[in-house]
């Protein structure tokens, strides 16, 4: 739709958000396909995140990091995160997926015009070389963001451990 438009999806097939494993109180609920014994990966093994009831949590983890990545690489700070559930809600592909759509200043404001958000007139073409460079830039920025987050988490865990041990460590 625009330069930097990114899709975020689950590894296992889920038609709607409510089918995500781990989406309910306490997590670990099984989606329809699992209860009925269907929808396994090609190799017959359940996806580790789904089996552990972490699909919803994982999406919540990745969406902010990916939105930050898209904004950094495109230089566009305004964006939509869109997710549709069912045909009447404009879901065309029957699989849970989120769109992160940068809204550059060159596009008209969508204020009070949400019905035009996905109109054909809003789309931009991207050639293969530009797309490859954009994807490489996103991977680089995302790698830095994840490593930085892991460093912060490690420092926080070390501080908590020192507190528990009375400052000795």
Specify which residues 8 forms β-bridges with: 98
Mean pLDDT per block of 10 residues along the chain (169 residues) reads 90 92 53 42 48 78 95 95 93 94 78 51 75 95 94 94 79
**Residue 102, exposed/middle/buried by CB under 10 A (0-12, 13-18, 19+)?**
buried
Q: What is the pLDDT of residue 106?
A: 79
Distance set, CA 146 to CA 92, 157, 160 (Å): 31, 16, 21
CB 17 within 8 A of CB 88: no
* Contact in structure between 117 and 80 (CB atoms under 8 Å): yes
| Whether CATH 3.30.428.10 fits 1-108 | yes
Q: For the chain, give the number of residues.
A: 169
What is the model's pLDDT at position 21?
82
Q: What is the pLDDT of residue 47?
A: 54
Whole-prediction pTM: 0.71
- pLDDT score of 54: 83
Q: Exposed/middle/buried for 27, CB within 10 Å: 0-12, 13-18, 19+?
A: middle
| pLDDT computed for residue 107 by the predictor | 66
Domain ranges of the chain: 1-108, 125-169
């Amino acid at each position: 739709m625009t330069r930097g438009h990114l899709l975020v999806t689950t590894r296992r097939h889920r038609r709607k958000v409510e089918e995500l494993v781990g989406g309910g109180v306490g997590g670990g609920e099984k989606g329809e396909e699992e209860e009925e014994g269907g929808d396994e990966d090609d190799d017959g093994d359940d996806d580790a995140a789904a089996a552990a009831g972490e699909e919803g949590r994982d999406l919540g983890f990745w969406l902010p990091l990916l939105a930050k990545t898209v904004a950094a690489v495109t230089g566009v700070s305004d964006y939509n995160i869109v997710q549709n559930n069912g045909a009447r809600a404009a879901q065309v592909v029957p699989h849970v997926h989120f769109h992160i759509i940068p809204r550059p200043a060159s596009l008209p404001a969508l204020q009070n015009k949400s019905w035009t958000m996905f109109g054909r007139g809003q789309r931009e073409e991207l050639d293969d070389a530009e797309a490859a460079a954009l994807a490489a830039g996103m991977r680089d920025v995302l790698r830095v963001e994840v490593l930085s987050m892991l460093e912060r988490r490690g420092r926080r865990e070390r501080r908590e451990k020192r507190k528990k041990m009375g400052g000795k460590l």
